[in-house]
A and B are shown apart, each in its own frame.
Chain A
Amino acid sequence: MPLTWDRKDLLGLENLSREEIELILLTAESFKEVSTRDIKKVPALRGKTVVNLFYEPSTRTRVSFEVAAKRLSADVINIATETSSVKKGETLIDTGKNIQALRADIIVMRHNYSGAAAMLARALEISVVNAGDGWHEHPTQALLDIFTLKEKLGRIEGLNVTIVGDIAHSRVARSNIWGLTKLGAKVTVCAPAILIPVAIEQMGVSVSHDIDGALKNADAVNVLRMQFERDESEAFPAQLEYFKNFGITKDRLEKLKKNIMVMHPGPLNRGIEISSEVADGANSVILEQVTNGIAVRMAVLFLVAQGRDKNKKDETPN
């Protein structure tokens, strides 16, 4: 029997138990059906307000959360910080408290500082969902990756998953590592040494600098986006050099003589970390990840809304 959810926030996968992650995945399975209906809407969050607060540019994550909230009948407000009072110097906590004073129920936040979501969650009574904080975590992306893996391959326990790319700067990698290892998958990270953080082995993963070796035993490969906008220093590999040594190409996959599932969190850099042939090919589940992202985010919004109500009730003296 799955346990119940009693957190008001979702900040990362590091602090979740295996059972909590499984509850989110199970709930998401049920929500997936809603998006296949003619009327893609259920009244579960009717009358609740979800605020998307994005301090970093994002289209796919924000739109995915917006679609998820709307399919639950919540009202959605998008705040792009470039055009808000943040530009006038308002602090994050002040912004959060103002949103809370508007009687919003859930803040979905992306921020460029690691730990920003946790700080906001501590300061507020309403729910906070982390949509990516710095290099720290991006829990809903990892949850939708894991959901897709489980849907396609039937299990997580015992799977070999290779994550390729800029592990050092990737919140997607970190959340995936926490989630996958908790559910019993074996994770290998593969990248040039400069993009692998020191002591990453302590998170329970193997490290490889040889892409062909790292793919050999893998059931699935999660190809990270090379974030050239984040680091323009000389230490960063040249784009063509990276593609030659670590890019996921048709030739590389054909050499494996087996099926391997290819995932990518998007947006794609075609010809840098992945070739177009692979991205559009039979092994790719990239667009299914996008579809599954809606179900996973619906589940998360639904659960944190309930978790908050539960916390409120517990505080009320009888």
Chain B
Amino acid sequence: MREKAKILDKDTLNRALMRIAHEILEKNKGTKDLCLVGIRNRGVYLAKRLADCIEKIENERVAVGILDITLYRDDLTLIAPQPVVHKTEIDFDITDKNIVLVDDVLYTGRTVRAALDAFMDLGRPKSIQLAVLIDRGHRELPVRADYAGKNIPTAKNETVEVRLTEVDGQDEVVIVEKDN
């Protein structure tokens, strides 16, 4: 494992989130019926930060939920280490709401597919949009992001690591090259 490049630092990461917050508000014409739902694990922190940004702009707090998609994965038996199942915590009614799903990296699109399935079991939102910090390409399913912090062309033997102060002690995004 070798760090190849730093894509975002603390300042550029926070500016990207602020821009996404503006775009979300522009597209949804304000905060009415707007809810953010973070996909575990780092999507949760990004959703909370986007809610902070939106509050700064509009002076309104939007609801934030947490979605665990472990039970909806199509690769449960393939991945190692085994995922620990965590709770989904969405304590508001999602019916007729405009939901913005938030995740750190958009890659194959399979996580988003699982998240959409999970959502359909929870209710019927008016719309679901997708916000990601990094879009790194290599989609395996027809999924696209409505809001992206940064588009980065990557090779398949690379991984994108999003590090956030809340879990990793600092804000940065780096490309890591795997040893072959």
Question: Is the Cβ of A30 less than 8 Å from the Cβ of B86?
Answer: yes
- In the complex, which residue of chain B has the Cβ closest to the Cβ of A29? B87
A82 to B99 CA separation, bound complex (whole angstroms): 53
Q: Is A129 an interface residue when CB atoms closer than 8 A count as contact?
A: no
Q: How far is the CB of A168 from chain B (nearest CB, A)?
A: 37
Contact residues of A between 24 and 40, Cβ < 8 Å to B: 26-27, 29-31, 33-34, 37-39
B71 touches A43 (CB 8 A): yes
Residues of A within 8 A of B88 (CB): 30, 33
Q: B70-103: which have CB < 8 Å to A?
A: 70-72, 76-77, 80-82, 84-89
Main secondary structure of the interface of A (DSSP, over half): helix
Alpha-carbon distance between A238 and B133 when the two chains are bound, in angstroms: 71
Residue contact B85 to A37, C-beta cutoff 8 Å: no
When the two chains form their complex, are residues B76 and A30 in contact, meaning their CB atoms are under 8 A apart?
A: no
Stretch at the interface among A119-127, A280-288, A302-310: A302-310
Nearest-Cβ distance from residue B97 to partner chain A, whole angstroms: 15
Task: Say which one of B4-12, B54-62, B116-124, B139-147 lies at the interface with A.
Answer: B116-124
Q: A38-B123, A39-B121, A306-B77 are in contact. Are A44 and B84 (CB under 8 A)?
A: no
Pick the most buried of B81, B88, B121: most chain A CB atoms within 10 A of its CB.
B121
Q: Which residue of the partner chain, among B81, B87, B117, B122, contacts A30 with CB atoms under 8 Å? A: B87
**Which of A26, A43, A306 has a CB less than 8 Å from the CB of B82?**
A306
- Cβ-defined contact, A2 with B71, below 8 A: no
Q: How far is the CB of A19 from chain B (nearest CB, A)?
A: 12
A42 on interface, CB distance cutoff 8 Å: yes
* A4 and B71 alpha carbons, distance in the complex (Å): 16
Contact B85 A302 (CB under 8 A): yes
Interchain CA distance A302-B71 in the complex, whole Å: 9
* Complex interface residues of chain A between 1 and 30 (CB less than 8 A to chain B): 2, 4-5, 23, 26-27, 29-30
**Which residue of the partner chain B has the closest CB to A299?**
B85
Instruction: Give chain A nearest CB distance to B52 CB in angstroms.
Output: 26
**B77 CB, nearest partner CB in chain A, Å:** 4
Does A209 have its Cβ within 8 Å of any Cβ on chain B? Answer: no
Closest to B123 in A: A38
Task: Tell whether, in the assembled complex, residue A306 and residue B76 are in contact, meaning their CB atoms are under 8 Å apart.
Answer: yes
Closest B residue to A31 by beta carbon equals B85
Residues from chain A with Cβ under 8 Å of B72 in the complex: 42-44
| Complex alpha-carbon distance, A72 and B68, angstroms | 15
Q: List residues of chain B with CB under 8 Å of any chain A CB.
A: 68, 70-72, 76-77, 80-82, 84-89, 117-118, 121-123
Q: Which 7 A-B pairs have the closest CB atoms?
A: A42-B71, A309-B77, A44-B71, A4-B82, A30-B85, A39-B121, A30-B87
Known: A37-B121, A37-B122, A44-B72. 18 other contacts (CB 8 A): A4-B81, A23-B84, A26-B84, A29-B87, A33-B88, A39-B121, A39-B122, A42-B71, A42-B72, A43-B71, A43-B117, A44-B70, A44-B76, A306-B77, A306-B82, A309-B77, A310-B82, A313-B77
